[in-house]
Amino acid sequence: MKIEKLILGYFAVNCYIVELKDLKILIDPGADFKKVQELLISNNTRPDLIINTHGHYDHIGAVPEVVEEYGINFYIDREEEQIVIDPEKNCSSIFGQNTLSLKTYNLISGADKKYFNRFEIEIIKTPGHTPGSIIIKIEKKLFTGDLLFKGAIGRTDLPGGNLSDIKSSLLKLKRFDKDLEVFLGHGPGTSLENEFETNPYLDSIFLDK
């Protein structure tokens, strides 16, 4: 597996190009389509699909251009539909230069999950930051979107956020191997082991409140 990270847009979202043997995935192409395209061209590759961890503006900003250019499917959890179509809920009406309402998307189904499993891709629903947030496990790598940051967690005060839900979602991380490498929605990477040891939001003092 080959993973390349691009830091995109005003909010410095992490976009990942994940190249597996028979599948190439874009995760969270949030802005700067030309920057994404230039890297794809330099690598002589093209994506097969997009999977987004959630539907906030800073994570979906380049999705329409990618879909139009490459004619590929864009996958989100079904509860993110309400986010990607609504400029207020995806925050583009608050933070963006232009409002964003996506028209072309695929809601992840059971059949889609079976297809992804063929490539050792596991989709885990982790609401809290948004109702349909997901994390993506690919082999020994974990892409957490805005559920988890290095030493912190995602906000719950934006539309659709819920503190109780994000605590339940953080508890799901406990079932994974601590050696997993973690690729975050913003900021530098980390490991589950490091977060279990140092992140106060993964401590029972916070999770059991």
* CATH value at residue 103: 3.60.15.10
Written as six digits, the tokens of 60 are 């979906």
For every residue of the chain, which 3-state class applies, written as one string?
Answer: CEEEEEEECCCCEEEEEEECCCCEEEECCCCCHHHHHHHHHHCCCCCCEEECCCCCHHHHCCHHHHHHHHCCEEEECHHHHHHHCCCCCCCHHHHCCCCCCCCCCEECCHHHHHHHHCCCEEEEECCCCCCCCEEEEECCEEEEECCEECCEECCCCCCCCCHHHHHHHHHHHHHCCCCCEEEECECCCEEHHHHHHHCHHHCHHHHCC
Flag whether pLDDT at 97 surpasses 80.
Answer: no
- The residues near 193 (Cβ < 8 Å, ≥ 6 apart) are 178, 179
Q: What distances in angstroms separate CA 55 from CA 49, 87, 127, one per listed residue?
A: 16, 10, 12
Q: Which residue has the tokens 């059991």?
A: 208
pLDDT at 126 over 90: yes
Select from 146, 127, 145, 149 the least CA-distant residue to 136.
Answer: 145
Please name which of 85, 57, 90 lies closest in space to residue 160, comparing C-alpha atoms: 90
pLDDT-above-70 percentage for the chain: 100
Predicted TM-score (pTM) of this structure: 0.96
pLDDT at 135: 98
Q: What is the pLDDT of residue 194?
A: 97
Q: Is the pLDDT of residue 96 over 90?
A: no
Confidence class of residue 177 from pLDDT cuts 50, 70 and 90?
A: very high
Arithmetic mean of pLDDT, 11-17: 97
The residue segments making up the domain with residue 149 are 2-207
Is the pLDDT at 94 greater than 90, yes or no?
no
Domain count, the chain: 1
Counting every residue written for the chain, the total comes to 209
